């Protein structure tokens, strides 16, 4: 009897030891995340504003879902609270369509607390391609019966934007869409190693929810390659989609009413809205509202900011004389300048090819050498791996034609 007990004790001890050993990498990842959080706090303490004085900057989210369109259990109250706590100025809702009712009109619309909501739809076409229709409308469901070109034509006839989402599904890049979602947070989370995410949830995400999830973001090489090819030929908006669903997590002993004895949600709205934002520039004499924000997106007066790596508010990309901004098409420019609110690695691309860079600074000046789509990416190498590989800023181009 004593021998059996000793054997069991040894087996349990071995199991505990093995479990402890397997947790060493995750404990180390927790230390890395904690160090990154400290560096972000110190680097973001005194940002230098570089934005054009003629413009005001609003920060918000494109691509969010609630239970009204399915694929999500998120409630209106949960999303409103998340947006309010995250301090976002706008959220472009993109509810899945229904044959029975207009999900875009039934979702959040107008100003609630301090946030402007725009009711949009995520739609399919007969070609199996997927778009965000902004604003949405009652015809969203019927677009799935139309080829992509006709569906986009209908959206434009109704004064709506057609924005590519999930670019890996696009078969024909010649169609007249208005923008390309180069990065999707929900996809990044779903594609991450589930075992890593599970243990990271206990070690890092609970204490550092934004940085814990941001470690899985990578530069979207293929989507940017496709974007740059299209932008070299015509104007098209670069944007990133949060694709917030509030539906990724682990829970034990739950019921259909949503009660859980124990659970961890990895993608709550507040955390997702803090990780990455679209920053849209509006003329100072324009009142911020749903219509003006959508127009700013259409014009490409916007940039992607992975703000959990440091607040990107105040980033500017413009001609040195101040006459042209992101989204502008101009015949020539003697010099273009990019300014970041705090130091980092700044890279200028022309039609997708590296054109100029500075390893550590808050301003990059360069002289274009001819027609092309010139855009900016910025990184924070001082945060070390894996955060040094996460795009901190991705701008829309200035087009020289």
Q: Give the integer Cα–Cα distance in Å for 303 and 324.
A: 15
How far is CA 8 from each of CA 5, 14, 17, 19, rounded to the nearest angstrom? Answer: 5, 10, 14, 16
Q: Give the integer Cα–Cα distance in Å for 213 and 216.
A: 6
Q: Give the integer Cα–Cα distance in Å for 93 and 109.
A: 8
Would strands 277-283 and 55-64 be described as parallel, antiparallel, or unpaired?
Answer: antiparallel
What φ, ψ does residue 107 adopt, rounded to 5°? -80, -170
Element (H, E) at 92: strand 90-96
Q: Is 372 left (phi over 0), alpha (psi -120 to 50) or beta?
A: left
Q: Give the integer Cα–Cα distance in Å for 333 and 127.
A: 40
How far is CA 237 from each of CA 46, 52, 54, rounded to the nearest angstrom? Answer: 30, 20, 21
What residue segments make up the domains of the chain, in order of their start? 2-43, 55-311+382-400
Angle at which helices 24-43 and 2-22 pack, to 10 degrees?
30
Q: Give the integer Cα–Cα distance in Å for 340 and 317.
A: 9
Q: Give the integer Cα–Cα distance in Å for 299 and 321.
A: 20
Residue pair 73/258 in contact (Cβ under 8 Å)? The answer is yes
Residue pair 185/242 in contact (Cβ under 8 Å)? The answer is yes
Candidates 187, 141, 143; CA nearest to 167 is 187
Residue pair 137/101 in contact (Cβ under 8 Å)? The answer is no
Give me the tens of pLDDT residue by residue for the chain, a chain 401 residues long. 677 777 777 777 767 766 666 667 667 677 778 877 888 888 864 545 555 778 999 999 999 999 997 777 899 999 999 999 999 999 999 999 999 999 999 999 999 999 999 999 999 999 999 999 999 999 999 999 999 999 999 999 999 999 999 999 999 999 999 999 999 987 776 666 656 666 666 666 667 788 888 888 999 999 999 999 999 999 999 999 999 887 555 544 444 445 554 456 667 899 999 999 999 999 999 989 999 999 999 999 999 999 999 999 999 999 999 889 999 999 988 899 999 999 999 999 999 999 999 999 999 999 999 999 999 999 999 998 899 999 999 999 999 98
Q: Which of the following CATH numbers is that of domain 55-311+382-400: 3.40.50.720, 3.40.50.10190, 3.40.1170.60, 3.20.20.140?
A: 3.20.20.140
The whole model's pTM is what? 0.89
């Amino acid at each position: 009897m004593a021998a059996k007990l000793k054997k069991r004790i040894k087996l349990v001890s071995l199991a505990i030891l093995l479990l402890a050993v397997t947790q060493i990498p995750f404990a180390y990842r927790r230390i890395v995340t904690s160090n990154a959080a400290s560096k972000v706090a110190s680097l973001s303490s005194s940002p230098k504003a570089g934005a054009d004085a003629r413009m005001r900057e609003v920060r918000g989210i494109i691509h969010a879902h609630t239970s009204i369109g399915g694929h999500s259990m998120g409630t209106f109250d949960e999303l409103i609270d998340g947006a309010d706590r995250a301090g976002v100025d706008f959220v472009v809702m993109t509810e899945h369509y229904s044959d029975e009712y207009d999900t875009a009109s039934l979702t959040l619309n107008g100003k609630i607390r301090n946030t402007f909501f725009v009711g949009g739809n995520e739609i399919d076409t007969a070609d199996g391609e997927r778009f965000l229709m902004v604003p949405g409308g009652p015809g969203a469901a019927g677009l799935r019966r139309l080829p992509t070109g006709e569906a986009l034509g209908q959206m434009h006839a109704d004064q709506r934007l057609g924005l590519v989402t999930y670019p890996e599904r696009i078969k024909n890049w010649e169609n007249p869409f208005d923008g390309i979602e180069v990065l999707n947070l929900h996809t990044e989370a779903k594609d991450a190693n589930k075992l890593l995410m599970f243990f990271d949830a206990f070690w890092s995400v609970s204490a550092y929810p934004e940085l814990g999830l941001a470690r899985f973001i990578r530069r979207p090489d293929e989507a940017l390659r496709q974007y740059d090819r299209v932008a070299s030929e015509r104007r098209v908006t670069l944007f990133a989609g949060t694709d917030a669903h509030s539906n990724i997590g682990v829970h034990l002993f739950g019921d259909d009413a949503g009660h859980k004895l124990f659970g961890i949600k990895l993608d709550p709205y507040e955390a997702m809205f803090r990780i990455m934002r679209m920053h849209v520039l509006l003329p100072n004499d324009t009142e911020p509202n749903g219509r003006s924000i959508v127009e700013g997106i259409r014009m490409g007066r916007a940039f992607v900011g992975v703000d959990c790596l440091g607040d990107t508010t105040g980033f500017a990309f413009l001609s040195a004389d101040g006459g042209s901004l992101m989204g502008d098409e101009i015949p020539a420019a003697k010099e273009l300048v990019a300014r970041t609110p705090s130091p980092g690695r700044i890279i200028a691309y022309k039609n997708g090819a590296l054109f100029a860079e500075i390893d550590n600074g808050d301003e990059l000046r360069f002289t274009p050498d001819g027609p092309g789509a010139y855009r900016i990416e910025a990184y924070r190498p001082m945060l070390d791996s894996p955060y040094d590989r996460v795009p901190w800023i991705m701008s829309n181009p200035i087009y020289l034609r």
